[in-house]
C-alpha cells in the first residue's frame, strides 16, 4: 500500500492518501480522485501545468525508469531537470526531484508530493466543526501548556477507546480489526507520552469539550445486531472509531486554524497530520468492509 502525502500552500493542511492496489494510476489521477487541487490541462505531458516535486520517503527507492521521453522533454523545457538528474534516471534508475503528475505513476512506495497550485483560487478546507465553534467560543488556549494539556486528554481518551474496541473485536473473533485498533491505541499512547513530555505542567486537569471527546460508543458485543452478524460488528466498530478520531482531528484542526501563537500552531499542525493519517486509514478500512458487506448481500440475493 502506498502512502501519498500532498502538500501545497493552496491547501489548508497536508493530506495523506492511502493508494491501494486498484489505485495504480497516475499521481494526477489519484489527486483528482481525492479533490487535491493539482493544476492540470492537457493531461498528456505536453503543457507542464501539473508540475510537482516528489520526495521518496524510502532511502533505497529506485524508480526513475518511469520517466518517459515526453516527460523528460517537458521538464527540460521548464528548466526543472538537470543533466545530472537525467543521467541518474537513465543510468542509475534514480527518480528526479520534479515530475509531471499526469505522467508519474503511483507505485508501492510512500512519497511526499508538493506543488504550488493556483494561488488565485480561494483556499478551501473542511468547514470548522462544532468542536471548532466550541473551542472558539469556550475553551481558552493561551499557552503551549494549555494546548498540550488538552492534547494529553484527547490522546488518553482515544487510547482508552481504541483499547476497548480492540478487546471487543478480539472477543468477537475479528483479529485483524482488533490488531488495527491495538495499533491505533498504541499510537495514541505515544502521542500522549509526547504531549506529556513537552508539557511543563505536572498535574493536568482539563476537561475536554464534549464534542471533542470520544462519543460513548455502545460496545459491539452488547448490540444484538452486531452479535448476530460479525461483518456488521466490524463495520460498526470501525465507524465508531472513525467518529472518535474525527473529533480529535477537528479539535486540533480548530486550534491550528484559530490560534495566533505560532508555536501552538506548529505543534497543533503536527497533531492534525497524525490524526489525518488515522482518519484516512479508518476510512480505507470502512470502504473495504462496506464493499465486503455489499458483495455478501449480492451473493445472498442471487
Ligand atoms: S497536465 Fe499537461 S503536462 Fe500534465
Question: 247 vs 229, which has greater pLDDT?
Answer: 247
Q: How far apart are CA 176 and CA 237, in angstroms?
A: 12
Give the Å distance between the CA of 25 and the centre of ligand 1.
15
- Of 262 and 137, the one with more pLDDT: 262
Query: Fold for domain 2-114?
Result: Ubiquitin-like (UB roll) (3.10.20)
Quickly state the pLDDT bin for 190 (edges 50, 70, 90): very high
pLDDT at residue 189 greater than cutoff 90:
yes
Longest dimension (CA), the chain: 66
Least confident of 26-40, 50-64, 258-272: 50-64
* 241 vs 12, higher pLDDT: 241
pTM (predicted TM-score): 0.53
Of the pLDDT bands very low, low, confident and very high (cuts 50, 70, 90), residue 54 is very high
50 lines ligand 1 (CB under 6 A): yes
Alpha-carbon gap, residue 30 to 2, rounded angstroms:
11
pLDDT of 114 over the 90 cut: yes
What is the percent of the chain where pLDDT is above 90? 11
> Which grid coordinates are listed for 282?
479508518
With vertex at residue 39, the alpha carbon angle to CA 38 and CA 45, rounded to the nearest 5 degrees, is: 100
CATH of 130-301, picked from 3.40.50.970, 3.20.20.105, 1.20.1260.10, 3.10.330.20, is 1.20.1260.10
Distance 94 CA to ligand 1 centre (A): 22
- Residue 87 alpha carbon to ligand 1 centre in Å: 23
233, 227 in Cβ contact below 8 A?
yes
pLDDT at 174: 85
**Domains in the chain: boundaries:** 2-114, 130-301
Q: What percent of the chain has pLDDT over 70?
A: 78
What is the number of alpha carbons within 13 Å of residue 46 lying toward its C-beta?
A: 3
In tens, the pLDDT along 249-293 reads 878 877 877 788 888 888 888 888 888 888 888 888 888 888 887
Lowest mean pLDDT among 110-124, 134-148, 219-233: 219-233
Q: Is the pLDDT of residue 123 over 50?
A: no
pLDDT of residue 51: 92
Evaluate: CB of 78 within 6 angstroms of ligand 1.
no
12 Cβ inside 6 Å of ligand 1: no
Cα separation, 88 vs 97, in Å, equals: 11
Give yes or no for a contact between 145 and 202, defined as CB atoms under 8 angstroms apart: no
CA distances from 146 to 33, 153, 199, 239, 261 (A): 38, 11, 9, 30, 12
Reply yes or no on whether the pLDDT at 225 is more than 50.
no
Between the CA of 28 and the centroid of ligand 1 the distance, in Å, is: 9
Specify the pLDDT at position 3.
85
Alpha-carbon distance of 274 to 188, in angstroms, equals: 10
37 lines ligand 1 (CB under 6 A): no
Amino acid at each position: 500500500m502506498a502512502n501519498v502525502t500532498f502538500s501545497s500552500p493552496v491547501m489548508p493542511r497536508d493530506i495523506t492518501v492511502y493508494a491501494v492496489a486498484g489505485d495504480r494510476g497516475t499521481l494526477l489521477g489519484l489527486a483528482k480522485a481525492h479533490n487535491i487541487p493539482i493544476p492540470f490541462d492537457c493531461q498528456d505531458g505536453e503543457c507542464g501545468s501539473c508540475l510537482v516535486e516528489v520526495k521518496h520517503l524510502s532511502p533505497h527507492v529506485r524508480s526513475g525508469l518511469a520517466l518517459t521521453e515526453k516527460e523528460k522533454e517537458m521538464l527540460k523545457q521548464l528548466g526543472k531537470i538537470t543533466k545530472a538528474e537525467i543521467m541518474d534516471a537513465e543510468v542509475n534508475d534514480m527518480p528526479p526531484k520534479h515530475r509531471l503528475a499526469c505522467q508519474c505513476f503511483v507505485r508501492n512506495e510512500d512519497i511526499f508530493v508538493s506543488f504550488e497550485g493556483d494561488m488565485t483560487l480561494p483556499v478551501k478546507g473542511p468547514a470548522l466543526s462544532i468542536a471548532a465553534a466550541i473551542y472558539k467560543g469556550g475553551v481558552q488556549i493561551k499557552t503551549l501548556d494549555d494546548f498540550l494539556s488538552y492534547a494529553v486528554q484527547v490522546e488518553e481518551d482515544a487510547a482508552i477507546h481504541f483499547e476497548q474496541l480492540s478487546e471487543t473485536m478480539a472477543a468477537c473473533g475479528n483479529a485483524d480489526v482488533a490488531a488495527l485498533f491495538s495499533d491505533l491505541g498504541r499510537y495514541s499512547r505515544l502521542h500522549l507520552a509526547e504531549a506529556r513530555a513537552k508539557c511543563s505542567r505536572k498535574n493536568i486537569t482539563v476537561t475536554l469539550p464534549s464534542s471533542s471527546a470520544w462519543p460513548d460508543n455502545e460496545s459491539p458485543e452488547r448490540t444484538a445486531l452486531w452479535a448476530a452478524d460479525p461483518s456488521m460488528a466490524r463495520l460498526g466498530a470501525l465507524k465508531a472509531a472513525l467518529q472518535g478520531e474525527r473529533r480529535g482531528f477537528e479539535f486540533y484542526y480548530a486550534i491550528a486554524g484559530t490560534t495566533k501563537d505560532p508555536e501552538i500552531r506548529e505543534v497543533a499542525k503536527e497533531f492534525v497530520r497524525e490524526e489525518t493519517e488515522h482518519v484516512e486509514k479508518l476510512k480505507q478500512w470502512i470502504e473495504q468492509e462496506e464493499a465486503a458487506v455489499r458483495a455478501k448481500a449480492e451473493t445472498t440475493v442471487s
